[in-house]
Structure 1
Amino acid sequence: MSQASVVLVEDDTALRESLTEILELQDFSVTAFSSADQALPTLQYNSHCVVISDIRMPNMDGMTFLKHLQQLDAELPVILISGHADIETALACIKLGAFDFVEKPLRPEHLLGLTTKAMQHRLLTLENRRLRQNTPQHVSLDEVLIGQSDAMQKLKQRLITLANADVNIVINGETGTGKEKVARALHNESVRKEKPFVAINCGAMPENLIESELFGHEAGSFTGASKKRIGKIEHASGGTLFLDEIESMPLSAQIRLLRVLQEGELERVGSNQTVRVDLKVLAAAKGDLFALSQREAFRQDLYYRLNVASIDIPPLRERKTDIPLLLSHFIHEAEQRLGQKAPPLTSVHFQHLMIHDWPGNVRELMNESDRIVLGISDLIFTGNPASCQSLSHQLAQFELSVLHHMLLLCKGHIGEAAEHLDIPRKTLYLRMKKYGIKKDNYLNNDEESAE
């Protein structure tokens, strides 16, 4: 298929013809089939199309059709239609990878809107695939720094602003917030990304070797120096140097580093010759580097050379809305690494996670994810449940009340209720699943028979 089109699969002849006419009146090119097994051979990876299919059909039902299409092309948008809709069916479709789920009787404007969104999504997917074939693969910032809270959005914006500013930067953050991850992201988003990123933990280096490690040495410059060594700073030239726990750097090394920043050159240990270096220096400390410099525990002149700009990483307790997203990511990684599935988590478990202060920040949550997968988490599997007067419990009760009253008002019509609540249908289905709300309880007899 050379042009973007709609592949329609519907065994009801009258409905198939009606839907074809509706779609074609909106300038969609439609290829219609009466069965899924007829449509399947016409589709392939990178097909320029969107699929709309009924669920209940002879030979091959819509769910089986969807599974085949997912194997063929997992990013092909598939909109499924059912006249026997329930929450379990909708969630099963979404879990299998359906773009969306529509219940009968169909509202033409809703179907057209979904088809337009699916078409835009498909064209964007195909364009991204084309670009990936012609350019090196690049991991997005959202994949590296996980979180959509206001605090994380501000951090990402700050990072993008400073990535290509060729200045030295101090990264401030508590233990476990991911200072090295932010440093790597600064490098990968910059014009220096093709050159080395060199990370050094100054606190982990023996004091008698740190100058040799940083600046390199000539053969015979000290006992054991049998041959010339290129130091970390010289190796990072053209790229980015990240100095973690820089407050642990001995005074003599601080003085030599200051000269590198001032003059753009260094001397290897045991050499009188200078070597030109071009690098961007990122620095981080366990504590407040400014306060350390004010107490003369760290050279003030070096601090001001390093702190041309700064980035502050928020602690996890200040962005708790990111916990579900982070937890999902870490649990998935832990399942792959440990070779077992995590036990299901309830709303009570999440309450424990949300009220915890996370002094170890993201690193603590990562370790907690391993314990959850192993079933040994003391944080969520033991202890007293949160009080029924807790904020999370009261918010849950309020949300349940809002859903109940809206479904009563809309007489169980999911699309209408989602529209009034200004949330996607998928979100409403998931909320109903969470609270055990059944659509059938809100339908009157006429509507049940109509569907």
Structure 2
Amino acid sequence: MSSTNISPTERKPKLLIVDDDESLLRLMSIRLSSEGFNVTSVDSGTQAIRLLFHTPFDVVLSDLRMPGMDGLSLFDEILHQHPDLPVIIMTAHGSIKDAVAATQRGVFSFLTKPVNHDELRKTLFQAVAQTGSNELGDWSADIITRAPDMIRLLKQAEQIAPKNVSVLITGASGTGKELLAKAIHKASDRKDKPFVAINCGAMPENLLESELFGHAKGAFTGAVQANIGLFREANGGTLFLDEIGDMPVSLQVKLLRALQERSIRPVGSATSIDVDVRIVSATHNNLKEAMEEQRFREDLFYRLNVVELELPSLKERFEDIPLLADHLLKLSAKKHGINVRKFANDAMNLLTKAKWPGNVRQLVNVVERCVALTTSKIIPASLVEQALSQETQYWPTLTEARDSFEYKYLCRLLQLTDGNVTKASELAGRNRTDMHKLMKKHGLDAAEFRIAN
């Protein structure tokens, strides 16, 4: 037996075989299972896509010519949905031209039938070595997931964590951007140094500058003592800049200079101080739109966005809702000393079907409310329904509250002025350019308000 077989103590790589030839499918499944692969087999590309939607695999082995969806069409769909998943294609109709075309499109390997088994085994192990395992280390223990999209994201995070590159985490509010930032820090070589976080949209510009870079004693009124600032506090570790899209443009210039020169100058000081920090930033805003509107510097964007990780919404990782709900229930029950074991089945169905505009943060609040109000060991659907219907179920962040107010204000203003942007600008005390930027930010069209009235 080949020395490349899986040892009994190792995790078996998960292999998906796709072929419409049932006898060949059965034979390959038996042989590859005996060599240490955890094999799942299906006889069509459509079945494979359906399976990949909820089950993670390490590698896919597919026939080229199949009824309906052929091997290359299956590969294209996998490339779109699971870009890091290697695909090996087999065909009895192989040619050099086909192989070149397939590998240029990103197919991991192209094998001609009848497949040489030693060559197949070697290629499969090479593909598995490229992807690694779906099992993640302790660094990600705080992130509860089984969703394929999240697992791929965490594997990408693990891959870039040891590299000293800046990371931009995007996604809607409440998706867990700070939690992912902490996980990246734990997986990096800086894990024994500080992790320091700040919300760039939660404080005025002058205070934010002092918080980031520090200030000298007497630098401004009230500065009765020096402050080292968060850059120096995070020295050797990671500085997490949350809601970076809300940072004032004038301060963006100073941040860019600090990142380029790897040094900071405290407010009121004439001396620069060298710092060694890894920057992880996050935003729920579209920074490319902000750059077009000159609200965010392009040079800073490319300095921060060496690697971008986009967190899916809770609704996009719906298979995680039961996992998260049970986990949060146990934490809340222990925290409050309440004897509650689980959600009733119909209660869990309600949680799974909810829209979750506030994402994981909102789920936390709903579970907390249910645990606090339950009078039984099993939380009933009626209590979940009550929690979901309460407007106070989810407390927004300052940025979310501000955006919500801004949107409602603009809608009422445009209704009041019959969609006349000039009149709306005058009432708001803003110029027309600013008004158009705000309307674009919130996806508002003045014509719709004219039609409505």
Given that 1:342 and 1:374 are in contact with CA atoms closer than 8 Å, whether structure 2 keeps it comes out as: no
| Counterpart amino acid of residue 180 in structure 1 | E
Mapped pair 1:231 → 2:221 = no
Match of 2:186 in 1: 188
Match of 2:90 in 1: none
Decide whether aligned partners of structure 1 residues 382 and 214 sit closer, same or farther in structure 2, where only a CA change above 3 A counts. closer
C-alpha displacement at 1:214, in angstroms?
Answer: 0.8
Given that 2:172 and 2:284 are in contact with CA atoms closer than 8 Å, whether structure 1 keeps it comes out as: yes
Pairs within 5 Å for 1:45-444: 140-342=138-340, 344-375=342-373, 380-381=382-383
Measure, in 2, the Cα distance between the counterparts of 1:359 and 1:314.
12
Gaps of at least 5 residues in structure 1 are: 1-137, 385-451
Decide whether aligned partners of structure 1 residues 214 and 378 sit closer, same or farther in structure 2, where only a CA change above 3 A counts. farther
Measure, in 2, the Cα distance between the counterparts of 1:188 and 1:375.
36
Measure, in 1, the Cα distance between the counterparts of 2:384 and 2:175.
26
Structure 1 stretch 304-313 or stretch 225-234: which is displaced more? 225-234
Helix, strand or coil for the counterpart of 2:169? strand
Q: Which has the larger radius of gyration?
A: 1
C-alpha displacement at 1:336, in angstroms?
Answer: 1.0
| Counterpart amino acid of residue 198 in structure 1 | V
C-alpha displacement at 1:208, in angstroms?
Answer: 2.5
| Counterpart amino acid of residue 169 in structure 1 | V
Root-mean-square deviation over aligned CA pairs: 2.2
Q: Which runs of 4+ in 1 moved over 3 A?
A: 375-384
Given that 2:348 and 2:381 are in contact with CA atoms closer than 8 Å, whether structure 1 keeps it comes out as: no
Helix, strand or coil for the counterpart of 1:209? helix
Measure, in 1, the Cα distance between the counterparts of 2:332 and 2:303.
41
| Counterpart amino acid of residue 328 in structure 1 | D
Given that 1:267 and 1:273 are in contact with CA atoms closer than 8 Å, whether structure 2 keeps it comes out as: yes
Given that 1:341 and 1:373 are in contact with CA atoms closer than 8 Å, whether structure 2 keeps it comes out as: no
Helix, strand or coil for the counterpart of 1:227? coil
| Counterpart amino acid of residue 341 in structure 1 | N
| Counterpart amino acid of residue 381 in structure 1 | L
Decide whether aligned partners of structure 1 residues 305 and 374 sit closer, same or farther in structure 2, where only a CA change above 3 A counts. same
* Alignment deviations for residues 184-204 of structure 1 (CA, whole Å, 9 cap, x no partner): 111111001111111001122
| Counterpart amino acid of residue 318 in structure 1 | E
Decide whether aligned partners of structure 1 residues 227 and 347 sit closer, same or farther in structure 2, where only a CA change above 3 A counts. closer
Measure, in 1, the Cα distance between the counterparts of 2:284 and 2:149.
21
| Counterpart amino acid of residue 345 in structure 2 | S
Gaps of at least 5 residues in structure 2 are: 1-135, 387-453
C-alpha displacement at 1:206, in angstroms?
Answer: 2.8
C-alpha displacement at 1:378, in angstroms?
Answer: 9.9
Measure, in 2, the Cα distance between the counterparts of 1:382 and 1:334.
15
| Counterpart amino acid of residue 323 in structure 2 | L
* Alignment deviations for residues 414-450 of structure 1 (CA, whole Å, 9 cap, x no partner): xxxxxxxxxxxxxxxxxxxxxxxxxxxxxxxxxxxxx
Helix, strand or coil for the counterpart of 2:189? coil
C-alpha displacement at 1:375, in angstroms?
Answer: 3.4
Helix, strand or coil for the counterpart of 1:144? coil
| Counterpart amino acid of residue 252 in structure 2 | Q
| Counterpart amino acid of residue 311 in structure 1 | L
Given that 1:168 and 1:306 are in contact with CA atoms closer than 8 Å, whether structure 2 keeps it comes out as: yes
Given that 1:352 and 1:379 are in contact with CA atoms closer than 8 Å, whether structure 2 keeps it comes out as: yes
Identity across the alignment (%): 43
Helix, strand or coil for the counterpart of 1:381? helix
C-alpha displacement at 1:210, in angstroms?
Answer: 1.3
Given that 1:353 and 1:379 are in contact with CA atoms closer than 8 Å, whether structure 2 keeps it comes out as: no
Given that 1:239 and 1:280 are in contact with CA atoms closer than 8 Å, whether structure 2 keeps it comes out as: yes
C-alpha displacement at 1:345, in angstroms?
Answer: 2.9
Given that 1:343 and 1:375 are in contact with CA atoms closer than 8 Å, whether structure 2 keeps it comes out as: no
C-alpha displacement at 1:379, in angstroms?
Answer: 6.9
Measure, in 2, the Cα distance between the counterparts of 1:379 and 1:273.
62
Helix, strand or coil for the counterpart of 2:350? helix
| Counterpart amino acid of residue 308 in structure 1 | V
* Alignment deviations for residues 266-288 of structure 1 (CA, whole Å, 9 cap, x no partner): 11111221111111111112322
